[in-house]
Amino acid sequence: MLSHLRAFLRICSFTLLMTGISVAVPLTRLFFGSQMAFNVHRRGMFVIHKVLGIKLHIIGNLPKDPAMIMCNHPSYYDIFFNIGHRPAVMIVADQFKNWPLVGWLGQGLNTIWVRRHSPEAGKKIREEIVTRIRAGLSIFACPEGRTSGSHDIHPVKPGLFVEAMRNEVPVVFYSIRYHSEEIPYFHDLKAGFIPHLFKHLWNALQHPIIEVDLRVSPPRLIQDVEQGMQDFYRFNRWHLRAWLSGPVPVQADAS
């Protein structure tokens, strides 16, 4: 009974808080610019951590300069860890663009929206990334292109590494590890996604504490795309070694 009450109160508090952030961030960006808007977002994320019971352990130093931030993607909770010191634009599936709260916040943060499985998606993302980089913004992205639903690492796509190398943007790896295996989540975003997601969130929010380890790598310049991809695998393989169920990356027939 207590766990259900905890989940209910967290949902109510989260909804109110996200409503406030979703209104404040676009207005701040309009009147005061991207840096101030991101500062509002960043402070809001730390408050959300408290509301949702997230206990975050940061191992390493969050980036202070523009960078291409690449993280593994076990869960939708990962979006709450875009908390570096510089404005960072996220790359998000456009299914979420018109969602209340999440979509509004994303638009306020100048998010790059991508239509999954579209043949033009890769080209559009690359163009958007270059535009944001030239504006002095960071990119917060998941090169696996999907949540994994576990701590296993799926094959990454080379596009982000290519753009980081072409534009000489430092790359920072994030490796996210949840202490509970009930937090990672995957759905193909097809039929039944919404009820399935809310059932998952209801169960997750019953946890008294959601402990998370966020390991941050030092910035590095990509000199070779294939080597950069292998570095991403190696960084996550080491940090997640006790939680992996198989090789890194996951073999194609295991996804």
pLDDT digit of tens for each residue in the chain (255 aa)? 799 999 999 999 998 998 898 889 889 988 998 889 999 999 999 999 999 999 999 999 999 999 999 999 999 899 999 999 988 999 887 777 777 666 767 777 778 888 766 667 677 788 888 888 888 899 999 999 888 989 999 999 999 999 999 999 999 999 999 999 999 988 766 677 778 788 888 999 999 999 999 999 999 999 999 999 999 999 999 999 999 999 999 986 544
Is 255 within the bounds of a domain? no
Q: Are 114 and 135 in contact (CB under 8 A)?
A: no
What range defines the domain where residue 134 resides? Answer: 2-220
Is 130 within the bounds of a domain? yes
Q: Are strands 54-59 and 171-178 parallel, antiparallel or unpaired?
A: unpaired
Is 29 within the bounds of a domain? yes
Is 80 within the bounds of a domain? yes
Q: What is the pLDDT of residue 255?
A: 45
Q: How many domains does the chain have?
A: 1
Token pair of 5 as six digits: 């009450």
Q: Exposure pattern of 60-93 as b/e (b: 16+ CB <10 Å)?
A: eebbeebbbbbbbbbbbbbbbbbbbebbbbbbbe
Is 175 within the bounds of a domain? yes
SS3 57: strand
Is 53 within the bounds of a domain? yes
Is 99 within the bounds of a domain? yes
